[in-house]
Amino acid sequence: MLYQNAVSAAFLYDRLEEFFKPERCTEIFPKKGLQEHNTEVIKKVYTACFASLSVFDNIFARDEKNVMLFTHHPLPAMPSLQAGYDRSIPKEYFDELKKREISFFSYHIPLDCAGPYSTGVSLSRAMGCEPYDSWYPQNGVNIGALNMSCYKNVYELKKCLENTVGHRCALYLYGDEELRNGRFAIMTGAAKSTDAYQWLTDLDINTFVLGVTSPTVDYTIKIHEAAKAKRINLIGGTHYSTEKFAPMAMCRWFRHLGLDAEFIPEPPVMSEI
């Protein structure tokens, strides 16, 4: 496919807002959508899960101008999910964005929200499964995906997830080994909600794929307690690896507009599982 040389930045921002309708939801970060407007035309889009400094460095090393970075999270990834980490981006990086005429756009909850490019749906489809519904209300919208699969038990599903993300995953067996009718739930990233396990019980689903499951992370203690109480199996795949398929899928979205788009990978934090 031949890509256009450039599109208007205003046109691209408008198409993103038109498609994702960010006004439907609230957000946990200070800005929703456009973080930095530094160019009137955009020749290429880079996508990433986190706005980590390695992602910015990757783009800067290419010595390009008039591009846009689209991320799921607008702030750097936390090296640990424990409290006390400064999540700011150094001022010199914003200065470099201006100098190189690079815009920066981020959709967190709007990309988690149920839809064809959502984090849950994107992971499900990458696993070769069929997402059939969303299931958990957060920030004014439904997030997470309910999925049909061909797998009979949690071990087969765990192996599928490992093959999809490219590394080992963690299984916490708190319920029956067999998947009920091949169904399971997804909520990517740092799924902290303990009331989600009552939802899964009501939905007759006994296996939950999520990002962060390590008992060394403070907030997961209550998650494991809730999962045990409701006999829900947990399969952890790291925050990054469960969410990366949404910004990867967004490359297709930008290409549909005629723009070149490229995903920038980051390393998963294996201690999260």
Residue 36 main-chain phi, psi, to 5 deg: -145, 120
- Span 67-73, average pLDDT: 98
Take residue 130 and report the two structure tokens written for it.
């069929």
What is the pairing mode between strands 145-148 and 33-36?
unpaired
- Span 50-66, average pLDDT: 97
Residues 178 and 152: beta-carbon distance below 8 Å: yes
Of 97, 111, 108, whose CA–CA distance to 37 is shortest?
A: 97
Identify the pLDDT of residue 77. 83
Identify the pLDDT of residue 1. 47
pLDDT higher than 60, residue 51: yes
The domains of the chain, with CATH numbers, are: 7-108+244-272 (3.40.1390.30), 119-242 (3.40.1390.30)
Chain-wide mean pLDDT for the chain? 95
Identify the pLDDT of residue 143. 96
User: pLDDT tens, 130-182?
Assistant: 999 999 999 999 999 999 999 999 999 999 999 999 999 999 999 999 999 99
Question: Using the 8-state DSSP alphabet, how is residue 269 labeled?
Answer: -
User: pLDDT tens, 181-227?
Assistant: 999 999 999 889 999 999 999 999 999 999 999 998 888 999 999 99
Out of 77-91, 106-120, 166-180, 228-242, least confident range: 77-91
Give 4-72 as a DSSP string.
Answer: PS-EEHHHHHHHHHHHH-GGGS--SSS--EEEE---SEESEEEEEEE--HHHHHHHHTTT--SEEEEEE
Identify the pLDDT of residue 83. 63
Identify the pLDDT of residue 193. 92
pLDDT band at 84 (very low <50, low <70, confident <90, very high): low
Site of tokens 């920038």: 264
Q: Outline where DSSP puts E strands in the chain.
A: 7-8, 33-36, 41-42, 44-50, 67-73, 102-106, 130-133, 136-138, 141-143, 145-148, 170-172, 183-187, 207-210, 233-236, 260-263
Whole-structure pTM value: 0.95
Residues 6+ apart with CB under 8 A from 211: 188, 189, 190, 191, 236, 237, 238, 239, 240, 241, 242, 243, 272
Take residue 177 and report the two structure tokens written for it.
């080994």
- Cα separation values, 126 from 156, 163, 192, 229, 249, Å: 15, 10, 23, 30, 10
Helix (H) or strand (E) holding 154: helix 154-165
pLDDT higher than 70, residue 43: yes
- Span 219-240, average pLDDT: 97
Residues 6+ apart with CB under 8 A from 61: none
End-to-end alpha-carbon separation of the chain, Å? 40
- Cα separation values, 89 from 51, 94, 236, Å: 9, 8, 28
